[in-house]
Chains A and B, each alone.
Chain A
Amino acid sequence: MANLSKSIHRDVGAGKKPRAFSSFDDLLNALIENGVVASKEELIEKQQGLLSALLFEWYIQGQIACVFAQMLAGTRKEDWQSIVFKEPVEAEELEERLVQSADSLEALQLIFVGDGTPEQAVELIRMLCQHPSWSCHEMPWMKNEQADSIPVGLRWHRPDSNYVSWVLGIAPFEPMPFTRRFVGAPFIALVFRPSPPNHDRAPKRVEGGLEASHLAHMNDGLGSDDEKRARTKDKTIYHKQTLLGDELRSHARAMVTFAFPAHCRESLGSILTPLPQD
């Protein structure tokens, strides 16, 4: 095993050892040192499937803060699928397959190769929202928080269903929260639960008259081990709190897909629609 670099350091409080995580380039270099790929270009152009493997590895290291996600990425199963797009998305084609696969999936991650900039994310949203199943909203701030950044929630509404899927974004740009910022990643990822919510796993939330389905509804694989489930939840809360530090909590919520810099407001323009009222 090569010596895996972890160049991203994060202070987690006075008297505590900073935590360290791998950037995309750290993970890539491990692949190169082991002869899996010769270069970043080869990875992106010929071995795109490995991008999914690297994203799973990033979850496993824990920068995402969610210990459930770490565990599920480590014990991955066929109900958490991954798709890498080599070319621009055709929303109608994607929709057909999304609908056909939804019931089989606890989660789906879509990886869009690109420069990982806010501009790529805006274009991606614009493409998806060409289809009526997708929508995008400027999300409200949490109490006592306000900034000139733009918290945006992307949604997928399965046709003829009573639920809407909240989409989680992973991207390398700021002001994405630390727990969603995969430094150096040559892509933007969208992760969501396309299947109906499971309210035995997380409290029911309603948005615009539709039940919210999100990643907390995933089967955590812990079965009847409620003690471990409670401990894992406590650790998740702790890690999220310490890793976010002073960053805005509004950006790091499940209902928020991307935190955009203020200069994106104009380009987001008409894509943003009002959040439906309950």
Chain B
Amino acid sequence: MNTNKSDNQQSFVTEVGQVKEVKAGGMTMIVGVPERLTSIFGEIEEDDCDIPEDFQPPANEYEGWLGE
């Protein structure tokens, strides 16, 4: 992965695949959205699980990533 050096733009936002080094004050950050390494980690398989018919979702409990 190539990292562009010493970009001191103010925004964090980069294009996918662009990873850059950003300096802010005395702080150095690596900013960006890396491309997926498909050749190493393989193709993504869609979640194909079958939820059992007898599965009972917990009442008022769900507060996962969805935040409910």
CB pair A84 B24 closer than 8 Å: no
Question: Which residues from chain A contact B49 at a C-beta distance below 8 Å?
Answer: 235, 238-239
CB pair B32 A47 closer than 8 Å: no
CB pair B36 A214 closer than 8 Å: no
Counting chain B residues whose Cβ lies within 8 A of the other chain, the interface size class is 35 or more
Counting chain A residues whose Cβ lies within 8 A of the other chain, the interface size class is 35 or more
Q: How far is the CB of A23 from chain B (nearest CB, A)?
A: 14
Question: Which residues from chain A contact B14 at a C-beta distance below 8 Å?
Answer: 78, 81
**Complex-state Cα separation, A242 to B57, whole angstroms:** 10
CB pair B68 A216 closer than 8 Å: yes
Q: How far is the CB of A273 from chain B (nearest CB, A)?
A: 21
CB pair A52 B24 closer than 8 Å: no
B interface secondary structure, majority: loop
Q: Which of B44, B51, B66: most chain A Cβ within 10 A?
A: B66
Q: How far is the CB of B61 from chain A (nearest CB, A)?
A: 6
Query: Could you mark each residue 79-93 of chain A with 1 if its beta carbon is under 8 Å from any beta carbon of chain B, else 0?
Result: 111111111111011
CB pair B13 A105 closer than 8 Å: yes
**Complex-state Cα separation, A101 to B33, whole angstroms:** 14
CB pair A87 B28 closer than 8 Å: yes
**Complex-state Cα separation, A255 to B26, whole angstroms:** 32
Question: Which residues from chain B contact A81 at a C-beta distance below 8 Å?
Answer: 12-14, 31-33
CB pair A240 B42 closer than 8 Å: no
* Residues from 24 to 59 in B contacting A, C-beta threshold 8 Å: 24-37, 39-42, 44, 47, 49, 51, 55, 57-58
CB pair A101 B13 closer than 8 Å: yes
CB pair A76 B66 closer than 8 Å: no
CB pair A60 B16 closer than 8 Å: no
**Complex-state Cα separation, A88 to B28, whole angstroms:** 9
CB pair B30 A216 closer than 8 Å: no
**Complex-state Cα separation, A38 to B26, whole angstroms:** 29
* Residues from 226 to 257 in A contacting B, C-beta threshold 8 Å: 233-241, 249, 252-255
Closest to B62 in A: A237
CB pair B64 A240 closer than 8 Å: yes
Contact status of A30 and B66, CB under 8 A, knowing A77-B16, A86-B29, A93-B27: no
CB pair B39 A236 closer than 8 Å: no
Contact status of A2 and B55, CB under 8 A, knowing A108-B12, A236-B64: no
Q: What would 22 A/B residue contacts be, using CB atoms closer than 8 Å?
A: A34-B39, A36-B1, A49-B3, A50-B1, A52-B30, A52-B32, A52-B33, A65-B64, A66-B66, A79-B13, A81-B13, A83-B29, A83-B30, A86-B29, A92-B25, A166-B67, A202-B66, A217-B67, A237-B64, A239-B49, A254-B65, A255-B63
Residues of chain A having any CB pair with chain B under 8 Å: 1-2, 4, 27, 30-31, 34, 36, 47-50, 52-53, 56-57, 60, 62, 64-70, 74, 76-90, 92-94, 96-98, 100-101, 104-105, 108, 142, 166, 168, 179, 202-203, 205, 212, 214-217, 233-241, 249, 252-255
